[in-house]
């Protein structure tokens, strides 16, 4: 019986498992396993790997053996024995994170000091290489354009060629920050299926098929005409994470405005329902007005610390305005449409602070609420807002 082929999947995000590259690498590894490969996963952030100190002891005094005694003692034989090495890593300063760089530097004992010419370029001979290895890179970046990966890909191509490692391909995904978040995982289900398929194809045919690569690109690449929207959304996202002092904010309601009731019918019932599932623990001390401009109608929700009331009409000073058709917004509310993707496609627009939109599921969450009855809350809320 022939031995199973061995794959080493190297995860290089310092974020450990809460990382985009981890999620992608996991699905790719699943594809390798499905194709029958023996897969070993290495989380670099959990390894003890000292910096190379450049002493060349591994070349001259103790050929093949480094001065450091750490986890590289176990990892180097695994590299020598692998049929396929996959790096699943984030892009850091156009290159690899420090923990990955240390791991690469510490592979120096795998080559000899002598200079030889290979394919017309000077390189070092490989020491005791057991087999030829295929090499694949999965990487993610914050910026949306593919060109940001150029220097990193070039580095890996230059590194692998003399080491008898064949660079067989890569999956490079820009604008990937959302992919690291636990609560965004559903958004990427289709992409993850294609990534798993790519792993399966690499294990069986040694390459990702054109068709799968195309599907991955379609699902993940931010088209050039959408980059301005991406930048706008990203900036609003970062802004929403900045420290906020709600204590200074005073929220006003217009004197004659009456809160919507659940019995009012139509959209009024919908927004009155939203106010009832307001979770004051989601963002403690929150003071904000979320306005909806849906078709020709306007509604707003006033959140003032632990109370939330819904009104029809516009507010004079809304924190955030969601501009949409009622139909689109209802589809997003019922998860028929994905909120983030719809925003990117321009199906609706946001004005003002993104914080409310990003935290919408937490702020309006039935299950998070205390067991106080809705009626109690309405009466209580009204009293506080009238203060
Ligand atoms: C120190 C540091 C440097 C970064 N440098 C770049 C960069 O040069 N280009 C880029 O597009 N993104 C850069 N990023 C963003 C990361 O690539 C991005 O957050 C990625 O989604 C993280 O992936 P992960 O979740 O797998 O760790 C950098 C992030 C950090 C923390």
State the closest ligand 1 atom to the C-alpha of 24, by its place in the atom list counted from 1: 26
Please give the distance, rounded to the nearest whole angstrom, from the Cα atom of residue 140 to the centre of ligand 1: 7
Please give the distance, rounded to the nearest whole angstrom, from the Cα atom of residue 35 to the centre of ligand 1: 31
298 with 159, same domain: the answer is no
Residue 191 burial (CB count, 10 A): 20
Residue 331: which CATH number? 3.30.1050.10
Please give the distance, rounded to the nearest whole angstrom, from the Cα atom of residue 79 to the centre of ligand 1: 26
76 with 150, same domain: the answer is yes
pLDDT value of position 379: 46
- Structural domains in the chain (count): 2
Structural domain harbouring 57: 6-222
Which among 222, 255, 282 is the end of a domain?
222
pLDDT value of position 361: 86
Residues of the chain predicted below pLDDT 70:
1-2, 130, 254-255, 367-387
pLDDT value of position 378: 44
Which among 222, 238, 254 is the end of a domain?
222
Ligand 1 atom 8: residue of nearest CA: 93
| Span 10-22, pLDDT tens digits | 999 999 999 999 9
Residue 317, both tokens = 């000073």
State the closest ligand 1 atom to the C-alpha of 174, by its place in the atom list counted from 1: 11
Q: What are phi and psi of 13, to 5 degrees?
A: -85, 130
Does residue 1 belong to any structural domain of this protein?
no
Please give the distance, rounded to the nearest whole angstrom, from the Cα atom of residue 221 to the centre of ligand 1: 16
Please give the distance, rounded to the nearest whole angstrom, from the Cα atom of residue 255 to the centre of ligand 1: 49
pLDDT value of position 1: 55
Does residue 175 belong to any structural domain of this protein?
yes
CA torsion sign for 43, 45, 47, 52 is positive
Residue 192: which CATH number? 3.40.50.360
| Span 269-288, pLDDT tens digits | 999 999 999 999 998 899 99
Instruction: Give me Rg for the CA atoms of the chain.
Output: 27
Ligand 1 atom 30: residue of nearest CA: 92
Ligand 1 atom 29: residue of nearest CA: 92
281 with 191, same domain: the answer is no
pLDDT value of position 367: 60
Q: How far apart are CA 212 and CA 167, in angstroms?
A: 18
Does residue 51 belong to any structural domain of this protein?
yes
């Amino acid at each position: 019986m022939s031995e199973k082929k061995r794959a080493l999947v190297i995860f290089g995000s310092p974020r450990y498992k809460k990382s985009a590259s981890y999620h992608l690498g996991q699905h790719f590894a699943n594809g390798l396993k499905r194709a029958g490969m023996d897969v070993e996963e290495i989380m670099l952030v959990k390894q003890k790997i000292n910096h190379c100190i450049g002493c060349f002891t591994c070349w001259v005094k103790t050929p093949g053996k480094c001065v450091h005694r750490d986890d590289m003692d176990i990892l180097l034989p695994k590299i020598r024995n692998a049929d396929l090495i996959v790096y699943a890593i984030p892009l850091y300063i156009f290159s690899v994170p420090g923990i990955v760089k240390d791991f690469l530097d510490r592979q120096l004992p795998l080559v000899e000091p002598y200079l030889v010419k290979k394919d017309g370029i000077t390189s070092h001979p490989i020491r005791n290489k057991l087999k030829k290895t295929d090499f694949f890179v999965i990487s993610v970046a914050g910026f949306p354009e593919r060109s940001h990966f150029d220097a990193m890909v070039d580095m890996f191509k230059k590194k692998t060629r003399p080491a008898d490692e064949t660079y067989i391909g890569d999956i490079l995904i820009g604008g990937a920050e959302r992919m690291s978040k636990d609560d965004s995982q559903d958004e990427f289900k289709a992409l993850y299926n294609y990534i798993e398929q790519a792993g399966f194809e690499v294990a069986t045919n040694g390459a990702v098929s054109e068709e799968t690569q195309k599907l991955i690109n379609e699902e993940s690449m931010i088209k050039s005409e959408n980059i301005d929207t991406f930048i706008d959304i990203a900036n609003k996202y970062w802004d929403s994470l900045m420290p906020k002092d709600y204590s200074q904010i005073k929220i006003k309601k217009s004197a004659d405005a009456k809160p919507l009731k659940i019995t009012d019918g139509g959209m009024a019932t919908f927004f009155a329902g939203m106010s009832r599932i307001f979770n004051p623990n989601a963002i403690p001390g929150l003071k904000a007005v979320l306005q909806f401009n849906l078709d020709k109608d306007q509604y707003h929700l006033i959140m003032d610390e632990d109370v939330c009331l819904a009104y029809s009409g516009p507010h004079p000073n809304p924190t955030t305005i969601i501009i949409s058709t009622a139909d689109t917004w209802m589809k997003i509310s019922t998860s028929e449409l994905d909120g983030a993707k719809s925003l990117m496609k321009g199906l609706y627009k946001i004005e003002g602070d993104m914080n409310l939109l990003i935290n919408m599921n937490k702020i309006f969450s039935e299950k998070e609420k205390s067991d106080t009855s809705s009626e109690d809350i309405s009466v209580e809320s009204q009293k506080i807002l009238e203060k």
